[in-house]
Structure 1
Amino acid sequence: MIQLKTLLVDDEYSAIEGLRIRLEEFAEINVIGSASSVDDAIQFLNEHEVDLIFLDIEMPSKSGFELIKHFQPETCPAVIFVTAFHQHAVRAFEVRAIDYLLKPVKLTRLTEAIDRVVNNVKLYQKSELIEVQQEIDKAEESIFEKSAQSDYKFDDENLVIRDAKSPIQIIPFADILWIDAAGDYMCVHTETETYVMRARLKELESNTLPETFLRIHKSTIINLEYIKQLDPLRNSEYMATLHNGKTLKVSRTYSKHLKGLFK
């Protein structure tokens, strides 16, 4: 039987305890912790592996949506929003929440939401689908390579993004904190801006980014100059904290190399 390691996030203690009691009826759910704020949740997630989060939206200081921003692409646990405010529903599904429950939560809706999570987990555990996805990725890569000329180029000190619909953007490598993948596009993050360009991670690496850039995840490249500290997680993974406070997960595949650079 699938058993999901679950985190409850809500600023109201009574809401957490009420939900915890209801979840005891579901063998698929293993509540391993709770948090009363986004910052507490981030700290918990840095130290524990979590499959599912029941997440309140309206909380002091930071909303539940701020927690979603913490995750890198493809690393976000399943999320079920639990809130008293229905007006957030559209945005919840825009960030790919599994479900959206209104307080007070009805048992029938809670059951439906958990069934949906379990079915999603089963779906992604099937090796056949993994093989199909690999074939899809290869096909997409082939199509991408045959598409129009790339809209970016490198010079000695800059990444130059060209887009017919907007002015040419010149981004000094020294200003780039990290780059992450979003399908056929890359998000280039500086201290103040995020630039989007059409490219693949492999393509960026093959174009020889400066030596200060290192891949830390299958979807992320980081500028080593901006790393403030590395904190160990479970399973030989690390959490890299940048000078601006942003945290990025370093997967086990790349952690040994990165750690070696800081000895």
Structure 2
Amino acid sequence: MIQLKTLLVDDEYSAIEGLRIRLEAFDEIDVIGSAQSVDEAINILNKHDVDLVFLDIEMPTKSGFELIKHFQPESCPAVIFVTAFHQHAVKAFEVRALDYLLKPVKLDRLAEAIDRVINTAKLNSKNELIEVQQSLVKNDPDEIAASANSDYKFEAENLVIQDAKNPIQIIPFKDILWIDAAGDYMCVHTLIETYVMRARLKDLEKNTLPEDFLRIHKSTIVNLSHIKQLNPLRNSEYMAVLDNEKNLKVSRTYSKNLKSLIKQ
């Protein structure tokens, strides 16, 4: 049986103990220590081999992202962020976190995250764990998000994001520039803010979004009304330039359809 040497990092002792208790249900997890700061975590990592880190983000002095900078490619543990805040999801997956859990952590979501480390990676060594962590960002986001529960609904002209921990957020469709996938989450971008919600890209594309929204990449949907220019690239691909000068790559699979809808 696989056993993952695991480090818990959170500035709140109660959060560490709560997670430790939940992890007792998983024989594959061997909690070798805990840290309440990034510097303390670095000290432990310098002394012990660690396969998996459950990592808080907002901590005094240094954030969880500062700990990521300390990792070396040849000894990089898998990372599962555990935080009370939605807004760090995009950056978390940019640094190749395996999962992003919201506090208070539910046991079923914790099980999903651990299964992702074990079953998807099919671990035999730490090197395989590193390879899987790096490859996850290349996978189809629809498959990565398959187990996510939606926390949104649609009104006539608005996207409504709702969950138990945050106020309801109402976003007019006309204000959305593009939507992209970040693991179990979808990031909804407007001119002034990025919203995060649990959803499947496939469901958004097929069932709910207005006709002005078009998929341009396996991980991206764009609002056609905000495209101001298409710049050709190699291999029949394009770069879509939005109103805010954001550049989004249009893959060859979707470029012909987009080109036919955009008049320049």
Normalising by the smaller structure, the TM-score range is 0.3 to 0.5
Superposition TM-score, scaled by structure 2 size: 0.47
Normalised TM-score (structure 1): 0.47
